[in-house]
Every structure is written in structure tokens, then in C-alpha cells.
Amino acid sequence: MIIIPARLASTRFPNKILANINGLPMVIATAKRVENLDDVAIAADTEEVVALAHDYGFKAILTSKEHQSGTDRINEAAQKLNLKDNEIVINVQADEPFIEERVVQSVIERSQQTDAMITSACKKIDLLHVKDPNLVKVILDAHGNAIYFSRSPIPYDREGGFEGYFGHLGIYAFRKKALETFCTLPYAAIEHIEKLEQLRAIYHGYKIAMVEVESQSFGIDTKEDLERALAFFK
């Protein structure tokens, strides 16, 4: 089950998930990108977005406005959908209207092969983007699991010449039971420092399995991001 957390309020870009993407509201454009992979549900925080999803033929669940993260929102939706404990739940962000189908499929396949709490994706990035704090970096162990995520360049290239940086893509897959467990873990200091909730799992000793993909897509956080994306993917 693919669940798209759709919070209408956004401080940097008000009503972002309703922005026009080639004639479709952003959240609907995102849902259509992945609808051929699995059942799709939109976890909304307003009746307006629930009604919008239904207008386009998508399942929608009204969730609390009080959730601190999209993960908490999809956890509530998974409970209301009565999913089985071992069902794979994929969190696709509503602000990824250009996400490639093959990227999400790769995450699904990796999640079916691992016992990690979370499965996610990364891609190689060039040196021009390494210092961008909005592009999260990740380093991996020998088994393809995440060691750490950071907004800073990691690893630190002391001698120069290193080009093996990986950028993180914010797609997450959980078994439903693992999703419940994650949402009950205590918050971790590193999660607050970096503002990256996936660090909570690592802090408490759980694995995050990664799959390397190729992708041109990027999340849309600001109006400038939207203009850049529309021009790039025109």
C-alpha cells in the first residue's frame, strides 16, 4: 500500500500540495505517478483534500492535524485501513510529483528482501550539490544499510578528491508493524539537531536498508523549487 501524507498547511509554501502541476493539484499528480505500482491512499489533514482525492478516484483518509511528521500521519492511516502487520507501507511524499515509477519500485523490491525497520533510496550526487543543506546526504555500510544521514557533507573529505557522495531520496517503506514501532520510539537528540526523523531509527539501533537509484526528481519545498521543477520537466 502506498500512502501519501498530505498536510495542507505549509510554512514555506502555503497550500503547496494543491499547486498546479501541468493541470493537476500536486498531491494528485504525485498519486498518479505511482498508481500503477500498488493501491494508493492519501492521508489528509483536511476534508478539502479528502474530497479532492475522491474527485480524482483516489482513496483518502482524514487524519489528525496534530501530527508532527508524515510518518505519524501514514501510521494513523495504516491503522484506519486495517492493514496486516506484515504489509509493506510505502511513504511517498506529496511534494514529489515528478518521482519516477522505477524509483518507488526499487524501494518496494528492496523492502521485500530485508528485515530492516525502514527501506529508503539514495542516488549519487555531484560536488556542486554536496554542500546544499536541503539535500540530505547518507553514508552506507558494506551491506547497503545507512550509517548516518546529514545535511552536512558526509563523509568529510579531508584529503580532497572524493566523489562518492550519496543524496537521500525521501521515500520510505515499512512493514506495518515496524511503522507502529518506529512511531512509538522516543525522539532522539540527533533527529532534532539535523531535523531528520529517520535518525531516530539509527539512534535506537534499527537498520535502514538503502537502494541506489537514478533519479532526476526532487522534492518541492518552495515556490522557486516549483518553478525550477516545471521548467526542468517541461
* Helix ranges restricted to H, 154-216: 176-184, 189-194, 199-203
CA–CA dist 212, 25 (Å, integer): 29
CA–CA dist 219, 167 (Å, integer): 12
Q: What is the pLDDT of residue 134?
A: 85
Q: What is the pLDDT of residue 11?
A: 67
Determine the 3-state secondary structure of 16 from DSSP: helix
CA–CA dist 106, 109 (Å, integer): 5
Q: What is the pLDDT of residue 113?
A: 96
In contact, 39 and 25? CB cutoff 8 Å: no
Q: What is the pLDDT of residue 15?
A: 87
Query: Which tens digits make up the pLDDT trace of 12-38?
Result: 677 889 999 989 999 999 999 999 999
Reported pTM = 0.93
Q: What is the pLDDT of residue 223?
A: 75
pLDDT string in tens for the chain (234-residue length) = 999 999 987 766 778 899 999 899 999 999 999 999 999 999 999 999 999 999 999 999 999 999 989 999 999 999 999 999 999 999 999 999 999 999 999 999 999 999 999 999 999 999 988 999 989 999 999 999 999 999 999 999 999 999 999 999 999 999 999 999 999 999 999 999 999 999 999 999 999 999 999 998 877 777 777 777 777 777
Q: Which domains does the chain have, with CATH numbers?
A: 1-95 (3.90.550.10), 100-216 (3.90.550.10)
Residue with cell 523549487: 225
Q: What is the pLDDT of residue 3?
A: 98
